Every structure is written in C-alpha cells, then in structure tokens.
C-alpha cells in the first residue's frame, strides 16, 4: 500500500478485529466482562452524554461503533510516530504501541468516568487489559509491516 496513513487506518482496524476475537476468551476467563468492556464504557459515557440510561442492546450497538472508530484512529496515530520504531523487532515495536494504548486508556478512563476506579478491579482484569492492548499493538504493527514495505535505496 503506497499511502502509509491508509495502511495505518487499515492496520488499526485489523488490530481491533484481533482484539474482538480475544474478548470472548477474556470474558470466559474472567467469568464476566471487565469494567473496561466496550459496552460498559459506551453505557457509562453515552448515558451521561444523552442524559438517559442506555439499554444493554443500545450499549452493545454503540460499543461496536466506538470500537470501529477508535481502533483505526489509534492505528493512524501509530502511523505518525512509528518511523522511529519500524527497525525494531515486531514484538518490541508492537508491545510499545500496546503500552501506549494502555497508558492512554488508564489515564482516560477516570477523566471520562468511563469505568469503575481501577483500584476496584481484580488482578486478572488488570492483566487482561495489558494483554488486550499488547495484542492490539502487535497485530496492528504486524499489519503495518505487511502493508507498508520500507523502500530501500537503489545501489
């Protein structure tokens, strides 16, 4: 793909898709969706925004829409800064992206009152948040590497 920003958008969407597959495993492992599940965030934030309590069905639909926008936008942001890490190994570069997403979410959740306070989460919920952001990062970076081939100068 010639346009690195289009590639970054697609890579973020693919990373989001991979995360969607992991959610089923995460929820089964925890026995419930964690406080940072997209539908919980959608319900919390959008219920305040719309000034009415959202139903679970509405929250699930909004969660899909939020993920569909959020992941590709994260991919585009990564596309702007990844030039410095594109020579790193896939794992190092991808985990760095995942850690960036983790830091952003950990800072944003309390600001937007999107989740219960992090000190009320179980250890497993914290571990799964790290795991899912790492998976997003590695899959997004792997997709970027597949879509954008670095041009080597002709000798």
CB-CB contact of 144 with 11 (8 Å): yes
Token match 């190994």: residue? 89
Give the pLDDT score at 84. Answer: 85
Instruction: Determine the Cα angle at 61 with ends 49 and 46, to 5°.
Output: 10
CB-CB contact of 15 with 71 (8 Å): yes
Give the pLDDT score at 32. Answer: 97
pLDDT in tens, 127-155: 999 999 999 999 999 999 999 976 555 54
pLDDT in tens, 64-75: 999 999 999 999
pLDDT in tens, 79-138: 999 988 878 999 999 999 999 999 999 999 999 999 999 999 999 999 999 999 999 999
Through-space distance between the first and last CA atoms of the chain, rounded to whole angstroms: 23
Closest CA to 140 of 95, 60, 75: 75
DSSP 20-73: HHHHHHHHHHHTS--TT-HHHHHHHHHHHHHTSPPPHHHHHHHHHHHHHHHHHH
pLDDT in tens, 12-57: 999 999 999 999 999 999 999 999 999 999 999 999 999 999 998 9
Predicted structure pTM score: 0.90
């Amino acid at each position: 793909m010639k346009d690195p920003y289009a590639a970054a958008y697609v890579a973020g969407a693919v990373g989001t898709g991979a995360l969607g597959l992991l959610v089923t495993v995460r929820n089964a492992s925890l026995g419930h969706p964690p406080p940072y599940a997209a539908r919980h965030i959608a319900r919390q934030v959008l219920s305040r925004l719309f000034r009415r309590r959202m139903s679970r069905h509405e929250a699930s639909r909004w969660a899909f829409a939020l993920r569909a926008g959020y992941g590709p936008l994260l991919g585009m942001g990564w596309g702007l800064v990844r030039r410095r890490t594109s020579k790193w190994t896939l794992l190092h570069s991808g985990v760095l992206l995942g850690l960036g997403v983790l830091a952003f979410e950990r800072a944003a959740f309390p600001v937007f009152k999107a989740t219960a306070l992090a000190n009320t989460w179980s250890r497993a919920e914290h571990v799964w948040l790290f795991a899912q952001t790492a998976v997003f990062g590695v899959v997004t970076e792997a997709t970027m590497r597949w879509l954008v081939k670095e041009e080597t100068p002709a000798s």
